[in-house]
Amino acid sequence: MGAALSTTESLSSSVHTLTLGLTQLLTAHISNGVRVNYGNHRVSSKYALDHFGGAVPPPDSILFPSGFSSTNGFFEFLVMGAANFIQGKFGIDEQRQINFIDNLSVTRSSHQLKFGVDYRWLAPFSSPLSYGQAGIFSGMSNSPGGALSGTAVIAESLAIRSNALLARNFSLYGQDTWKITTYRIGVLFSARASEFTTMSAMARSEACPATFLTRPSSSSRRHSFL
């Protein structure tokens, strides 16, 4: 059992990066290098019902309550042993990053001094469906739980807020390498500090069994998923 032939899935991905660098020779014994990088990776997924095989997709007003649509909600209609019909947004994930690095090199007689700073800003977030509704039926029968009965085996509705993570990482180091006759000795010092902030929430309601769909009257227009 899988998705109906009239159910399509769209997956999009975009990546944007930018890196800038500058190296300066300040004096004959001092040089400095700076690097700045920005990165953004965004992935989104959504489902839609089309007109394959003469199917007539129902409008969003039938599938979603007021204030929601296929642009911010998710609808799933599953009939065991038949097919799975899906419409709406599944989620958007995005990673954003900024990285700044500075390195200073100083040469003094037999000493080679190096100092550096590394700052990273990470802000990934996930934007899932704001509203979701799913109904699971045991088959196409008229008995309770069957699709023709209008009563689902399992009916579920949920709402999920976006999840965000903000991480700031700062580190620095100092290094001294010097040469005594034929021996080379080095000392390295480094320190690191990090900060993380998260935010997420989810609400869910379930009912089993539950009345999921009502039978249309004789004057109502019928919509077909197939």
pLDDT band at residue 56 under the 50/70/90 scheme = confident
Is there a domain that residue 1 lies in? no
- Domain assignment of residue 41, yes or no: yes
Residue 196: its pLDDT value, please? 58
In a domain, 220, yes or no: no
- Give the number of domains in the chain: 1
Answer whether residue 218 is part of any domain: no
Question: Which residue, 143, 161, 163, is CA-closest to 153?
Answer: 143
At residue 218, what is the residue type?
S
pLDDT at 207 over 60: no
Residue 112 · residue 176 · CB < 8 Å: yes
On whether residue 226 sits in a domain, the answer given is no
Residue 43 CB coordination number (10 Å): 15
Please report the pLDDT score of residue 195 as a whole number: 61
101-123 pLDDT, tens digit per residue, is: 999 999 888 888 899 999 999 99
Query: Domain residues for 204?
Result: 7-211
Residue 22 included in any domain: yes
Which residue would you say has higher pLDDT here, 26 or 159? 26
Q: Tens of pLDDT along 7-29?
A: 888 888 999 999 999 999 998 89
